[in-house]
């Protein structure tokens, strides 16, 4: 029987080559196998048609390919597609394909089963964090969502956002390894600048991204630009204050030269006044950035409401009048609980 603990995709190519040589196989097979695993995303060893039957049987004897599977797929009225991905141990995470009018096809992927950060407006925050996803499990989400873009809309995937379930920077190694595979010529060959990792704000890990001189984009889920309000909705802020985050973001920018994106959900009667806009304006001056204003998507666990359109427009106009680059992101997939903050892995079959 295959060793259930040993997914072959946890091996690097040199490790795989060494293993093949130790087991009487030729070293060049490692490159062939690696291409099947990553570029072709083979779900099983029998698919590896340029390997001998003997080699395939040897691989099956010692390894597994713990590919994810689509447990359920829903298509929204606005063409957004949400998938419930079943993992090898029965856990479920969700990923979303978001088609946009400007020919962008964006994959929103998860990095953890559940989440430990308990943000009060996010459905995932009300779940227990069960475990981190492996790099291959994140990669598989991108592969499947890429297929969906081609099958449903005859278009290539153009962007990836790590904004699904979980906090990416609390699964640092696997997230960076998944991006390395996604951007590698041996994998999907996507440009790093088409990838955005979103964090609720963990200062020391933002600095680590800077030290690692990452090439992808960084987004901060801000949602309030004073500590009192942010503590209320995002408990992580109590140990990662806005001053600490600003310092970490400045460090990240110095190391990478990449402009930060601030994500700001405008909640009714909470953070939608011109005073809130002024506080956000002052925070934007700490580091080169742009602001994405996001509509709130209600969840059963919370009582927050989206602000009215007039207030949202006034909020955005205030920032723009003071030179801030602002994009207002309209919700996609709300009718199938696929919008920002609504992912909760409810599907289990």
Catalytic residue ranges: 94, 340
Q: How many residues does the chain have?
A: 349
Which helix (H) or strand (E) segment holds residue 246: the answer is helix 242-256
State phi, psi for 25 to the nearest 5 degrees. -100, 165
- The bridge status of strand 105-108 relative to strand 159-162 is parallel
How far is the C-alpha of 336 from the C-alpha of 182, rounded, in Å?
Answer: 28
Structure token pair of residue 266: 């405008």
Strand residues in the chain grouped as ranges (E): 69-75, 81-86, 92-99, 105-108, 112-113, 131-132, 159-162, 195-199, 217-221, 260-265, 289-294, 326-329
SS3 102: coil
How far is the C-alpha of 237 from the C-alpha of 231, rounded, in Å?
Answer: 5
Backbone angle region of 269, left / alpha / beta, with phi > 0 → left and psi within -120 to 50 → alpha:
left
């Amino acid at each position: 029987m295959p060793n259930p603990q040993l997914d072959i995709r946890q091996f690097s190519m040199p490790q795989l080559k060494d293993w093949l040589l130790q087991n009487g196989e030729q070293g060049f097979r490692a490159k062939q196998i690696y291409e099947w695993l990553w570029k072709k995303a083979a779900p099983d060893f029998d698919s590896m048609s340029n390997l001998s039957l003997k080699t395939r049987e040897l691989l099956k004897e010692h390894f597994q390919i713990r590919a994810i599977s689509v447990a359920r797929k829903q298509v929204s009225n606005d063409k957004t597609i949400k998938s419930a991905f079943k993992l090898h141990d029965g856990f479920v995470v969700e990923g979303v394909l978001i088609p946009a009018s400007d020919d962008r096809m964006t994959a929103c992927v998860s990095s953890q089963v559940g989440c430990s950060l308990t943000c009060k407006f996010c459905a995932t925050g009300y779940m227990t964090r069960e475990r981190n996803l492996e790099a291959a499990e994140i990669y598989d989400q991108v592969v499947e969502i890429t297929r969906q873009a081609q099958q449903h809309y005859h278009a290539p995937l153009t962007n990836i956002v790590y904004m699904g379930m979980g906090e990416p920077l609390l699964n640092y190694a696997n997230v960076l390894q998944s991006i390395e595979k996604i951007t590698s010529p041996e994998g999907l060959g996507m440009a790093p600048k088409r990838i955005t990792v979103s964090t609720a704000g963990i200062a020391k890990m933002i600095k680590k991204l800077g030290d690692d001189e990452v090439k992808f984009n960084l987004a901060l889920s801000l949602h309030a630009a004073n500590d009192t309000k942010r503590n209320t909705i995002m408990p992580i802020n109590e140990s990662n204050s806005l001053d600490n985050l600003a310092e970490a973001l400045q460090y990240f920018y110095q190391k990478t030269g990449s402009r930060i994106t601030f994500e700001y959900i405008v909640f009714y009667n909470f953070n939608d006044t011109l005073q809130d806009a002024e506080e956000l304006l002052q925070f934007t001056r700490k580091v080169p950035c742009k602001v994405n204003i996001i509509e709130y998507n209600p969840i059963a666990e919370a009582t927050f409401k989206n602000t009215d359109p007039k207030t949202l427009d006034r909020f955005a106009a205030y920032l723009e009048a003071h030179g801030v680059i602002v994009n207002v992101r309209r919700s996609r997939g709300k009718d199938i609980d696929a919008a920002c903050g609504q992912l909760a892995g409810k599907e289990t079959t």
